[in-house]
Structure 1
Amino acid sequence: MKKRKLREYITMLFFLPLFCMCSHTNNKTSNMATHVNPIIGSGGHGHVFVGASVPFGAVQLGPNNIFKGWDWCSGYHYSDSIITGFSHTHLSGTGGSDLGDILLMPINGKVNIKRGEQKNINNAYASYFSHDNELVKPGYYSVLLDKYKVKAELTATERVGVHKYTFPGKNDNHVIIDLKEGIGDKSYETFLKQVDANTIEGYRFSKGWAKDQRIWFTLKSNREIEKLELYDNDTLVGEEEFMAHAVKGVISFAGNPQEVILKVGISPVSSVNALANIDIEAPEWDFDKIAGQAEEKWNKELSKIEIETNDPVLKQVFYTAMFHSFIAPVLFNDADGSYRGTDKEVYTNPGFENYSVFSLWDTYRTEHELLTIVQSERVNDIINSMLAIFQQQGKLPQWHLMGNETNAMSGYSAAPVVVDAWQKGFDGFDEELAFEALKASGTCKTQRGIAPLMDYGFSPRDKSREATSVALENLLDDRSVAQMAKGLGKENDFKYFFNRAETYKSYFDKSVGFVRPRLSDGSWVTPYDPMESVHMYGDFSEGNGWQYTFLVPQDPEGLIDLLGGDEKFTCKLDSLFTLEGNFGEHASIDISGLIGMYAQGNEPCHHIAYLYAYAGQQWKTAEKIRYILNEFYTNQPDGLIGNEDCGQMSAWYIMSSLGFYPVNPSNGVYVFGSPLFDKATIKLPEGRKFTVEAVNNTKENYYIQSVELNGSEYSKSYIKHDDIMAGGVLKFIMGNTPNYNFGKSPDVRPTSLL
């Protein structure tokens, strides 16, 4: 196995005291926030958001660097030393860039409205900063801007960003509002207006990954605003309200106060609603109180799982993973419930909290399953949000971003999320509407890969890019639709989607032992190298034929039969984890965290190590999982081996470290791996608890010897969702050598049968 080379950006000795400071939390809840290090994943290719937010909040208020490409998708990268300001929306961990709306920057001295460039910020408003003068923890961010000697502090509610700026003196202090700048997008219409002595309002419409993103805001100041000078790009246009494609403003305060607090409410509907959000969520001017409330909200969510371990680094990695898993999806409505739909119409009183930022190609695998356990109160709202999107655009969300369908990635990956919720008994949504949405999405010919699938019975390489991986994702989704059809007694729909799902087998070429692209005449593509990965324009999305051969999490039993039975299947898996190879000169940068051909840094591999259990060799699953947990997740800035992807990378860690994982994304079965902690307690609804204990657990004792459930011997190598949610105690007895008999018999292996 090839170990990862860690870059030592910063030592643990720096992090541990850093996050013990400035706690605003009282003793009502356990202060799990002290274990969170939001800098994890801000280096390397993690792309995480760094700043102030509350769980699943619409506002992610944080610093922006000058955008320099892929590793700045969140707007911030730990390697950087320049801040251009603090914007109110960010993505976390994505491979695409957008947002960064409503940028504020405190300055003093001579006003320069230009942002600046990486090589020259002297004649610009951007400033250098040092990580030595930066503090970030759940719900709070602060930094010293070197150029101005201004201390900027940020906190947030769900829909309000709160800024506190402390200037070094009372001399020419200003705040710039820049509506031109975003993160990889372009504004096409912006507006600014001073309403009264303490209020400014405006909006920013932009085109980027989200083709037509619209956000309104209202800014309230605790200091009198003497004037608001308006600029079109870098040209002064006056002090009256102004609309153009790139409006900027400079706020000057009466009396040049040394401390200013600004509250910025955002809304997908109007500035009036943005102001109402401020009045409801942040009516006071007590910055520390608001920051304390934000931290309490984080502690409430973080304390839903309490772990026991003697290793403080493991605690830091775990609770940071929890933190990252609860940033998205985000609220996309106002405090009164109103929101703007994909069709740009305003909806009032929808009867649910509306969510957006659905990175579904990533999050269907683990993030949403985790939410059904520890965020069950949000699941119905998330599903209702998806069903509303279906009603507005004619299909379920694919990669939905702030009221926009980006159509990014492959598969109609909302399907397993909806079916998983339905199967687990969530009933706060219309199941008939849900099935209508599933069926429509699975037969929508504008959905990527569906038209060739319906026309040819498979997806030919000469008809679409990445055709083979797109097909495998669609067929995975088909299986979930078939599952719900069977449960609802819709026999014809069940037969159609089940039979179509079974066609994954037609992509396997037994003569080479891999999935293989096909042409429209049905022939195999020749030549073919299953090790090659051609980013964006190859046969597989962010992967290769080795990895995608195992992308059948919905039917591992069928895959085992296809590859020749248990022995040949496990031999093939062994080769995946041991074969060192070259992916080709066009390999995707997403292929990272390698163990042979296995890539933990990207989602298509996330279930693969658990497949051993389906072939009766659970001990090999335990071996691989413990290695991944220990080697690819650290408390360093590059502590995530790949893109966080809106919580998926961290959700994998959480579930796996607890000792079980949802291979099939929509059947409520969790496969055992190797529990990382001595004890973990999950707090469930109605006061129930589910506790996982690992007896004799050490770094060397990562093999499961035996299992007990609620005091009785438990021979299965998996557990069902209902068993967890009922509460109880799952006890693993661990050892340093494999128990080859544990999980070996076919009757105790995990199942994917409908």
Structure 2
Amino acid sequence: MFSTALAVLVSISFTSISFAQKTDYTQFVNPYIGSADHGHVFVGANVPNGAVQLGPSQISQTWDKFNGWDWCSGYNYKSEEILGFTHTHLSGTGIGDLNDILILPANGKTHIRQAPFNKMNEGYGSKISKANETVSPGYYKVLLEDYDILAEMTASERVGYHKYTFNKKDNPHILIDLGFKMNWDSPTDTYIKVVNDSTIVGYRFSTGWANDQKVYFAIQSNTKFKRVELYNDSIPAADYHIAKSTATKAIISIDPTKAVELKVGISPVSTVNALENIKAEIPYWNFEQARKWAVAKWNNVLSKIDFKADENTKTIFYTALYHSYFAPTIFSDVNGDYMGTDKQVYNDKNHQNYTVFSLWDTYRALHPLMTILEGQKNKDFVSSMLKIYQQQGKLPVWHLWANETNTMVGLPAIPIIADAILKGIIDPSEIELAYEAIKTTAIGSGHGLEYVRDLKYIPIEHMQNESVAWALEYAIADFGAYQAAKHLGKVEDAEYFHKRFKLYEQYFDKEVGHFVGRHADGKFRRPFDPLMAKHRENDYCEGNAWQYTWLVPQDVHGLINLFGGEKAFLNKLDEFIALPEQLDDASPDISGMIGQYAQGNEPNHHVPYLYAYAGEQWKGAALVHKAMTKYYTNEPAGLCGNDDVGQMSAWYVFSSMGIYPANPMNGKYVFGSPLMEEASINLPSGKTFHIQVKNHGTKNIYINKVSLNGKKYEKSYITHNDILKGGELIFEMSATPNKKFGANKTFRP
């Protein structure tokens, strides 16, 4: 009864919201952007923030061979083979995991061993060609050429829907391989149970980036199984309907007189819930209907911004918006059950639970973007983080499927929670818990935090590498704690965290004009090379001293003072982007270079907007325009670095509209250089904020003047509250800079 009612509710809501769309925004998306080189984006079928990301997984070999880092998502545009289709993927990450529950339709000789690269006849898998592959939001199709099988797939939030058309009917069968692994992942315990002649359930437990990952699943078929062969690793199972091992497999013989369809529900909790998810979300056998719903859900989020530009720019924009909705992903069942980081099962019917929090990346732009576009979803993101805090004793750093990976530096959940408090997008009942989580996390220990807690710098004897990176990120988080404490009237705490967010000043070496690691005796590191970016062997994380010189978005005026004033600050910025584009033995994450500015990595994402703080907004406009047009293209290699779970894309969504949250916790969006003719942001309240660009043109990259709601507007930024009120912002552009715009200190961010 519950399942049917929920399914009907979903059907009604999406029929009324999405099928009424006059414009199909999915036509403007090119899902291949970022699928080549280092973009690492997921390519396949999913819905916004869906737990299921159903798509191909390709051959994974050792790091230094054909495969490796550029297959973190399981897919790379240059690959010409598919081993099977898996139901979970990561998108844009620099570490690979997931690719759970592999299914492959096949015919001919049966195999339970995956084919090695370039030897597809020695195991399961098939060659493919791009000419026979189609991908669009919510839909994936490919011809498995070795088997002559057309594979199509779509998805709901928790269910993957497969459709296989067997053009060749020689021993047709379907392989399920729970032992399949890619990248860092390795199975630890897998289980398959044949429930009846059209249903299979099971689980796959694994270790990898997520140290203890659990995925439960249920598979239903529209075609009765003729025979099922189960294997414990490579040995046939003694029991014809149950198999349990580290690498359980099944070969299902079928009669494909009609297209074979499979519905695969997943759950973090149980096979019972996986079946319930199928009943609630896709209770019917109608692939085209499921596909239409997936497209409707994508149109529902893509239509939140009506962006008008030339065809190429429009495609890049909507693809960026599309990628901004891949994560965080849903991590609970339709009944509210979810797995906590303490491996206990919880139930929450008031909030949707989420995972895949790549917070060091996404606190900068993706989460601020969602504070504009989404209502309830933001509350659910925050609530999910607070539940993680309650279960593990600190806010998440990089949360993945009920696991804290502790990847990257700082305390990146704090800026997001603090911003939610300041913007009033947190449930009143959770405000005190939110502040408790911020404070408890901030006064923790490890990675030098005990020094920060005592208002001291982190000596390099304590942290030989990355001490400056950790310290600067701590200072950003501490600004959030300060703002939250101040907002909530916690005076003593506010004074304490104000001192903490100013600790960045202790790393500034005036002799060289950079933030530099310090010895316990107070001396700065010597010898010192500001260009040195050797991976994991300096004071910075994925960067050098030049790139970390600007990582003070919370206190830009304080940074300006360290340089001795605006002139010296601006000269240093000019020097930064004029330096040679060279790196010495650096992390591959440092990419998208303009001088030493690295668009391909997050610590530099706010840098173009710093010019506005010192009265030269026009220089920032030129830099951000160059970064957008040089490093974002309508090609598979159209991203200059990892998409980083949507942060690289969210940066473009903001920047192409001419605004960016340089400080993600003060509710100000600094002006840059808009690329479009106009954009309408359709707000959750029903209001619209319209941005019009007059005198638009490829050479007109500078803001000449601005008006807001028909009145002259001289500030070089706009506030969050002004956007939420709705209204119209007009940029009038020019090919030559108006150096007076934003020059007056009164009008700077």
TM-score, normalising length from structure 1? Answer: 0.94
Distance in 2, Cα, partners of 1:232 & 1:454? 52
How many angstroms does 1:167 deviate by?
0.7
1:162-561, aligned counterparts within 5 Å? 162-184=161-183, 185-238=185-238, 239-253=240-254, 255-309=255-309, 311-428=310-427, 430-446=430-446, 448-454=447-453, 457-464=456-463, 465-561=465-561
The corresponding residue for 1:592 is 591
The corresponding residue for 2:12 is none
Kept in 1, the 8 Å contact 2:195–2:241? The answer is no
Aligned mate of 1:52, from 41, 45, 56: 45
Look up the SS of the partner of 1:493 in the other structure. helix
Distance in 1, Cα, partners of 2:493 & 2:596? 37
Kept in 2, the 8 Å contact 1:171–1:256? The answer is no
How many angstroms does 1:231 deviate by?
1.4
Matched, 1:682 2:681: yes
Kept in 1, the 8 Å contact 2:581–2:593? The answer is no
How many angstroms does 1:333 deviate by?
0.2
1:577-588, aligned counterparts within 5 Å? 577-580=577-580, 582-584=582-584, 586-588=585-587
Kept in 1, the 8 Å contact 2:149–2:168? The answer is no
The corresponding residue for 1:732 is 731
1:645-664, aligned counterparts within 5 Å? 645-664=644-663
Distance in 2, Cα, partners of 1:191 & 1:39? 34
Distance in 1, Cα, partners of 2:152 & 2:358? 30
The corresponding residue for 2:159 is 160
The corresponding residue for 1:39 is 32
Distance in 2, Cα, partners of 1:456 & 1:542? 26
Matched, 1:95 2:94: yes
Distance in 1, Cα, partners of 2:383 & 2:475? 24
Question: Residue 142 of structure 2 aligns to which amino acid in structure 1?
Answer: V
Question: Residue 128 of structure 1 aligns to which amino acid in structure 2?
Answer: K
Question: Residue 521 of structure 1 aligns to which amino acid in structure 2?
Answer: D
How many angstroms does 1:110 deviate by?
1.0
**Residue deviations 1:191-241, cap 9 Å, x none?**
001001110000000000000000100000001112221112223224230
Question: Residue 422 of structure 1 aligns to which amino acid in structure 2?
Answer: I
Kept in 1, the 8 Å contact 2:28–2:318? The answer is yes
Distance in 1, Cα, partners of 2:403 & 2:537? 25
Distance in 2, Cα, partners of 1:256 & 1:364? 48
Question: Residue 633 of structure 1 aligns to which amino acid in structure 2?
Answer: Y
The corresponding residue for 1:111 is 110
681-690 or 275-284, which deviates more: 681-690
Look up the SS of the partner of 1:250 in the other structure. strand
The corresponding residue for 2:696 is 697
**Residue deviations 1:62-109, cap 9 Å, x none?**
000112211000000001111110000000000010000001011101
169-178 or 701-710, which deviates more: 169-178
How many angstroms does 1:637 deviate by?
0.2
Moved over 3 A (4+): 25-29, 255-258
Distance in 2, Cα, partners of 1:408 & 1:510? 31
Distance in 1, Cα, partners of 2:154 & 2:251? 22
Kept in 2, the 8 Å contact 1:173–1:257? The answer is no
Count of paired positions: 722
Question: Residue 530 of structure 1 aligns to which amino acid in structure 2?
Answer: P
Kept in 1, the 8 Å contact 2:107–2:168? The answer is no
Distance in 2, Cα, partners of 1:331 & 1:149? 35
**Residue deviations 1:172-197, cap 9 Å, x none?**
11111111113320000000010011
**Residue deviations 1:385-405, cap 9 Å, x none?**
000000000000000001110
1:553-572, aligned counterparts within 5 Å? 553-572=553-572
1:56-95, aligned counterparts within 5 Å? 56-67=49-60, 68-95=67-94
Kept in 1, the 8 Å contact 2:385–2:396? The answer is yes
The corresponding residue for 1:5 is none
The corresponding residue for 1:612 is 611
Look up the SS of the partner of 2:176 in the other structure. strand
How many angstroms does 1:455 deviate by?
5.7
How many angstroms does 1:377 deviate by?
2.6
Kept in 1, the 8 Å contact 2:268–2:332? The answer is yes
Question: Residue 512 of structure 1 aligns to which amino acid in structure 2?
Answer: V
Look up the SS of the partner of 1:406 in the other structure. coil
The corresponding residue for 1:7 is none
Unaligned stretches of 5+ in structure 1? 1-24
Distance in 2, Cα, partners of 1:610 & 1:256? 59
The corresponding residue for 1:602 is 601
Look up the SS of the partner of 1:707 in the other structure. strand
Kept in 1, the 8 Å contact 2:87–2:100? The answer is yes
The corresponding residue for 1:20 is none
569-578 or 234-243, which deviates more: 234-243
Shift in alpha-carbon separation, 1:26–1:432, aligned structure 2, 3 A: closer
1:630-669, aligned counterparts within 5 Å? 630-669=629-668
Question: Residue 364 of structure 2 aligns to which amino acid in structure 1?
Answer: R
Distance in 2, Cα, partners of 1:257 & 1:190? 31
Kept in 1, the 8 Å contact 2:553–2:662? The answer is yes
Question: Residue 374 of structure 2 aligns to which amino acid in structure 1?
Answer: Q
Distance in 1, Cα, partners of 2:414 & 2:518? 26
Kept in 2, the 8 Å contact 1:705–1:733? The answer is yes
Kept in 2, the 8 Å contact 1:29–1:296? The answer is no
Distance in 2, Cα, partners of 1:666 & 1:706? 26
The corresponding residue for 2:8 is none
Distance in 1, Cα, partners of 2:684 & 2:57? 38
Distance in 1, Cα, partners of 2:124 & 2:472? 49
How many angstroms does 1:583 deviate by?
2.3
Distance in 1, Cα, partners of 2:20 & 2:587? 47
How many angstroms does 1:262 deviate by?
0.2
Shift in alpha-carbon separation, 1:511–1:479, aligned structure 2, 3 A: same
Unaligned stretches of 5+ in structure 2? 1-17, 61-66
340-349 or 267-276, which deviates more: 340-349
**Residue deviations 1:312-340, cap 9 Å, x none?**
11111010001000010000000111101
Shift in alpha-carbon separation, 1:256–1:582, aligned structure 2, 3 A: closer
Look up the SS of the partner of 1:647 in the other structure. helix
Kept in 2, the 8 Å contact 1:452–1:463? The answer is no
How many angstroms does 1:625 deviate by?
1.1
Distance in 2, Cα, partners of 1:452 & 1:114? 52
Kept in 2, the 8 Å contact 1:169–1:258? The answer is no
Kept in 1, the 8 Å contact 2:455–2:500? The answer is no
Look up the SS of the partner of 2:654 in the other structure. helix
Question: Residue 550 of structure 1 aligns to which amino acid in structure 2?
Answer: W
The corresponding residue for 2:137 is 138
The corresponding residue for 1:670 is 669
459-468 or 269-278, which deviates more: 459-468
Kept in 2, the 8 Å contact 1:51–1:61? The answer is yes
Q: What percentage of residue pairs aligned between the two structures are identical? A: 50
How many angstroms does 1:619 deviate by?
0.5
Kept in 2, the 8 Å contact 1:172–1:256? The answer is no
The corresponding residue for 2:63 is none
